[in-house]
Amino acid sequence: GKEMFNKQIGNIVAILVSINYLHLHFSQEARPYIFLFLFSTLSFYYLVRYIKVPTIKNALLHGVMAGLMINMHFFGFFILAAQYCILSLFFILTNDKKTFFVRSVVSGVVTLLLFIPSLKVFIAVSEIKHFWIPAPTLDIYTNYFKYFFGNSELVLTMVSILVIFYFLRLAKEKNT
């Protein structure tokens, strides 16, 4: 939040993350989820820095954090795909396309090099036919949304009201 906006927004985001039920819950598990969150946050941080100042150093730091992210959990690939969509958009918008492209490729190569040791595990996991987690149902997203806010009806209602007010305000600003 600080890198994208200002210190106040960064502090608000830090407070919200530190009291979020989902993050508190998963930080207590002896699983790699908290590291996935850490390296996802750091890779986005260095992605923002790279987009703002496209130096080779920022590209390398983004590549290292993205490589660590996909090594922590394979869900990191979804985040990495989103980051490369963002990079593609900024590639289109940049003036110095050649330099931006070369540095982005350097970042991608570093990410891939860091993933090579986990490739064998990734292939083995992708060949699993049966798993202990049941197949997702149609209400997976609503259930996850509820779980994210601690299954609290009060918090869920407050968040829903805030989202509705946000979209109403956004619509009002568009009409003005």
pLDDT tens-digit readout, 111-134: 999 999 988 988 887 888 777 777
Give the pLDDT band (50/70/90) at residue 176: low
What is the DSSP secondary structure assignment for residue 136, as one 8-state letter?
P
Residues 6+ apart with CB under 8 A from 45: 3, 65
Percent of the chain residues past pLDDT 90, beyond the cut: 36
Kindly state the average pLDDT of the residues 58-77.
Answer: 93
Most confident of 74-78, 122-126, 154-158: 74-78
Q: Out of 3-7, 76-80, 111-115, which region has the weakest mean confidence (pLDDT)?
A: 3-7
What is the DSSP secondary structure assignment for residue 31, as one 8-state letter?
S
Helix (H) or strand (E) holding 68: helix 56-72
Q: Give the pLDDT score at 174.
A: 64
Q: Is the pLDDT of residue 44 over 90?
A: yes
Q: Give the pLDDT score at 115.
A: 94
Most confident of 13-17, 54-58, 74-78: 54-58
Assigned token pair, 94: 């940049």
Q: Give the pLDDT score at 156.
A: 80
- Coil, helix or strand for 107? helix
Percent of the chain residues past pLDDT 70, beyond the cut: 98
How far apart are the C-alpha atoms of 116 and 124, rounded to whole Å? 14
CB of 10 within 8 A of CB of 1? yes
Kindly state the average pLDDT of the residues 138-153.
Answer: 79
Kindly state the average pLDDT of the residues 60-66.
Answer: 96
Top pLDDT among 38 and 1 is at: 38
Assigned token pair, 12: 């608000």
Length of the chain: 176
59 alpha carbon, distance to own chain's centre: 17
Per the listing, tokens 């009002």 go with 172
- Coil, helix or strand for 32? coil
Residues 6+ apart with CB under 8 A from 37: 23, 26
Most confident of 9-13, 45-49, 152-156: 45-49
Q: Where are the beta strands (DSSP E) in the chain?
A: none
